[in-house]
Copies of this chain bind each other. A is one copy, B any other.
Amino acid sequence: MPEPSKSAELYVGVDLGGTKILAGVFTSQLKLLQTAKLSTKSDRGFAAVLDRIDRCVRDAVDEADMSLKQVRAVGIGAPGAVNPENGEVIFAPNLEWRDAPLKKELEKRLDIPVFVENDCNACTLGVHEVELKGKPRNLLGIFLGTGIGGGIILDGELYRGFNGTAGEIGHMVIQVGGPKCGCGNNGCFEALASRTAIFRDIQQRVKDGQKTILTEWLGGDLSELRSGDLRKAIRKGDKLVEKVIEEAAEFTGIAVANLINIFNPEVIVLGGGVIDALEDEMMAIVVETAMDSAMQGTTKGIEIIASELGDNAGITGGAVLARQRVK
């Protein structure tokens, strides 16, 4: 595989999360060359996080043996409501940011054009443009992690809605009177199938006296629990974990059916940490439940798939965004 030349144009995608910053250097054909990772340390404040994003971008470019001068633009997916015009993060609860001028401040540090998008929108862009070669006209991205978010591609373009907040599918109520959600409502999709919901459900069952191999591995409070542990437990035949994951997959299937009934998209792609870790355990149940629950006639020719980009969906989408916007 020939290396891109020292004069090639590059794009950098950044996935800004509540706990870590991931930066990826991409060629103009959106081939990933290198990544770099730093913890976010959001408790140190906005300026410190800006410095860390700056450093992470420079680290990634350096790791790729490239120069920052080759980078035409940086695209960032940020965890919250974003104004894509001025690049401000309107509200990011995990970072405790409000009206944070991310684009402006980062451009000062890097002296490169910076573009900002909601993180799930960025992931959806990445999957659509790179993994699916831009083919589906209408696509829905659903990302299951600590929370649940989504992105919507309509007629080949990211759909943002009236206030730029479209795609908040994690807060679709699917069980009135169900478990409390962080947003204040009850029975949101996120309160039923996110990692947070899955962990809460397992911990509750352990408190209720049910048995799981997880407590042997991690101690009774399960405070160090990770998605990968769930996969390992299920493969060891752990019935408690299997049951909880099955239920989360069924709720996800119902949410997918709702979205098929509403949007009738061509492709629905699932991703995020929960799906990355538990694809084999969850996807068949998600697809079967969705296909059973969606209205007759709505599912013909529709695909429900898991993204193969994994952790790289966000940086890929950041690079797609950077390339789209700088052109």
Contacts and interface: CB of A to CB of B under 8 A. Distances in A.
Contacts of A146: none
A178 interface: yes
B163 A264 contact: yes
Interface residues of A, number: 51
A162 B295 contact: no
A262 B178 contact: no
A326 B164 CA distance: 35
Q: Give the dominant DSSP class at A's interface.
A: loop
A264 B183 contact: no
A261 interface: yes
Interface in A86-118: 90-91
Interface string A140-184: 000000000010001100011111111111011111111000010
Contact of A162 (B90, B187, B302): B302
Interface stretch (A31-39, A215-223, A233-241, A250-258): A250-258
Interface in A173-203: 173-178, 183, 185, 187
Interface in A282-321: 293-302
Given A166-B264, A168-B264, 5 more contacts: A154-B154, A163-B301, A168-B262, A169-B262, A172-B172
A42 interface: no
A278 interface: no
A81 interface: yes
Contacts of A167: 262
